[in-house]
Structure 1
Amino acid sequence: MPRRPDSQNWRLVGAAHARERQTYEQVLKIADSVDAILFTGPLQYDLARESGELTVPATYVPVSGASLYSGIIRGLMAGTLDPSRVSIDSIGADEVEAAYADIKVSNQLVHTIEYLGAESVEKFIDFHRGLYESGATSAALTTVKSVAQRLVAAKVPVFRLVPPSNSIRDALNTAALLGAGSILGDSQIVMVVVQVSPAFRPLGNGPQNYRQMELILSLHRLLLSEVADLGVTLLQRDADTFVITATRGSLAQLISRLRADTFVDRMRAETGMVVDIGVGIGETPQAAEEHAYTALERSREGDAAKVYLVRPDGSNVALSGPSDGQVSSEPPLGSSKAEETLRRIIEVLQPQPGEPIVVDAEAVAEGLTVTPRSARRVLASLVDAGLAWQMPAVQSSRSGRPRQQFRLIV
C-alpha cells in the first residue's frame, strides 16, 4: 500500500488468497512494489511473520468490540441469533462487556475466547461448536473466515465479524505513516497518549459533565493546533484520551510541541485542567501504543513536570521540563554501547579531520559488514543516544527511494 510523503493519494495493491496459509506467498509477490502492507487482521499478520521475514513495514486492522454491532444486527435480521446467548472469538471479555452495556443486553450467557496467536484458530472451532451442540448458545460470532466456513459445514449458525469503516480508516492511516517512514529510512512508529489526569475527571452525571465536554473540546482544539502541520494522525480514543500516531521522523517536533513546560502548562492556564502524556516507540503500532501507555503511567508516578518516553527495548527516559526540550541529564540506557558503535564507525570510515561526518545506511552497512536493515537500526540507536541527527532526505539521481543521511556527532 504505497503512499508517498508528498502526496495525499494512496495506490492500493490487492493480494487476495483463498486460504489463510497462503498469506506469505502473496506477501512475497507484492513486497517489492509496495511501501507498507496492511493485513486484514492479526491472524494474517501472525501467519506471515511465522512464515518468513517481512521486508517492508506492516500492520493489521485491529479486532475490537466495535465489530460486534453489525454482526449482532445481521443475526437478528436473519432470525437465528439470540444476542444474549452467543459465543464470540478474538474480542476480549472487557470489550464485549462494554459493547453489551451499550445495547442494554445482558452478557451473562455470552461466552468469549481471546486470540493468542495463529494456533488459536483450531481452538476457536472446537469452542464454538461445543457450546452450540450443548445448547448453550444460539450462534457463533467469529472474526476468522476459515472458522466461519468450517462452522457452516458443521451446521453451526455463524456470523462473521468485520471491522467497522473507522477502524479500517485508522489502520490505513497507520499503514500510510509506516510506508512514509520507510521511504525516509525510518520505519518505527511513535504513539503519544494525551489523557486527562484522573483527579480532573467528573464524578457522576449532571452539569459538571457538560463543563467537562467543553474542556475536552478545548483540549482537542489545542492538540490540533499543535500537530496539524506535522503529518500525523490524531484520534480521540475515549472521553478523556487522545492518541497521536506518527513516524520517528516526527518525534523531535512532537516532543518539542508537547513538552510539559509548554503544552501542559498552557492547557492548565487555559482550562484549569491537567493532562498526562506518555510517548512510546515500537516496531509495530501495537507495541508503540503499549509503550505509550506504560510511559503515561510512569509520568503519573514520577515528577508531574516530566513526560516519559518508552523505547522499543522497554527502557524509559524522562523528557525534561526546561525549555531546552532535551532529555534529562540521566544517561539513556545503552548509551555506552551507542558510543562504542560510533567509535567503530569512525574507525572504519576514517573521515578527514575537522570535516563533518555524514553517512547513510549503505556506508554503515559496508563498514560494519551488516545488512542495510541492521545499519538503519544502528543509526536509529545513535539518534536516540544523541550521537547523530537525521538530515533531510536526498533524492537520488537513480529511481527509487530518497537516500536518508545522518550527521554523526563526535
Structure 2
Amino acid sequence: MGPHDLVERVMLMGHGPTPVPSRLVAAAYRDEQEAADKVVRLGSGVDVCLFASPVPYDFARKAGVLTMPATYVPLNGAALQGALLRASLDERFDPGRVSIDVLGRAEVEEAYAEIGLGTEQVHLREESAGPGTLAAFHERLWRRGATTVAMTCVHATAERMEMAGVPTIRVRPTGAAIRSSLQTAALLGAHHRLEESQLVVVLVDVPTLRETPRRVTPRYWRDELKLALHRVLLQEAHRMSASVWPLDDHSYLVTATRGSVTSSTEGFRTPPFVERVREELGLAIEVGIGMGRTAHEAENHARAALARSQSSQRTQGFALDRDGRALVPAPRTPPRSQPQAKPKGLEILARLADKLGDQEQPLIVDAENAGRMLGVTPRTARRLLRTLVEEGLAWPLPPNRTPQPGRPRQLYRLIVEKLGPSKAS
C-alpha cells in the first residue's frame, strides 16, 4: 500500500527471481491519508498489510481500521543515506542544511554520523501530519534561507513542494529494505493464519436445567426449553462456522476456530451466546472458552475457564489460551448506553409473579388462572399472555391434549428472570 510508482516497484520485486511465497494485492493511493480507506476496502481479503512508509501506517492505525497484522518499509538507515548522497551530488544543495520530516532524531543523527556529517543545521519534524502541514514546514524554512533542500518521506508532500518550486528530494526505500519488509509481512501473515485457524472449544452451561433435590422441573418443560436453546445455539454457531453438540442435560459443547470466535466476541471482550439467549429465552447461561494444542487440551481449558467464570461472577477472563492463561483483552471505553423503553408487559409479569409467590418450580399459568389473578376475563387474559410472548416475557408451552371436546388448555411459562435477580429468586 503506497504511491503508484512504489507499489509497482514492490509488485515487480515480489515476483522477481526470488519471489515471496504469498499473493500480493496492489493498493495504490495519491495521498497517504487515503490509507485508512484502502484498508477498509480490502477488508478480510488480505492477511497482512505492508505500507510504503511509517506515514500511511500511522494514519491507518490511528483510524482504528487495522484488524489484521501490519508493517511498513523503513525509511531510515540506507534510505536516508541514499537521499543524502543524491543531495551531495547536486552542487545546489548542502546536505548539512536540510529539512527532514517523519524520521526520528536518533535515526537522523545515526545516519549523519556514519557519513561524518553534523546535524547542527538540520531541521526535523518528527511527528506525522497531513501533506499540507509538512509542505508548509519545509517551504517556510527554505524561503527563510535556513535550508537548501527539503527531504520528505511523504509522496503527497513532495508533489506539493515541487509545484511550489521548493527543491525536494524524496526519501525512497532501498531494494534491500523492500525485500526484507516483504519477508516480514509474509511471516506475519502466515502466523496470523495459523493463529486464526487454532481450535477453540466453547462450553455452555445452563443453571436452570440443573436438577437439584429442591427443584424438580416437569419433563415436558425441560424438553421444550432444551429444544429452544439448542435452536438458538445452532443459529449462532452457524454464523461462526461452528458445530454444537449437547453434552448432558444442562450443557453444550461448541467447536470453532479462534478467528470466528474472535469476531463474534469482539476480541474476547464479551462471551458468546449470552446476550441472545437472555433476550430470546430469558435464561442466564455460563460460558467458558478454551484453546489448546489438541482437542482434549482445549476442552480441559474450556472447563477450567467455565469454573473460573462461575466462581468469580465476571465476564472478563472467561477464556483461556493454549497455555492455560486467561485472555484478558485490552480495556476499551464502553459506548454510552441509551435508555431503553420499558416493555409494557413487565408490569403484567410482575403482578402475576407476585400473585404466584415464591416457588421452586417455574411459574406456569393459563388464561383462566391469569384472568383470576389480574381481575380480567379469560379472553382479556389470553390477549395479555400473547403480549407477554411477543415481548419475550413468556413461552407458550405445548397444549395439554385431553379427551374432552373444546379448545385444549394452553399453558405459558413466565420468564420472571427478566424482572431482575430480586424478583426472579
Q: TM-score range by the shorter chain?
A: 0.3 to 0.5
Larger radius of gyration: 2
Q: TM-score, normalised by structure 1?
A: 0.47
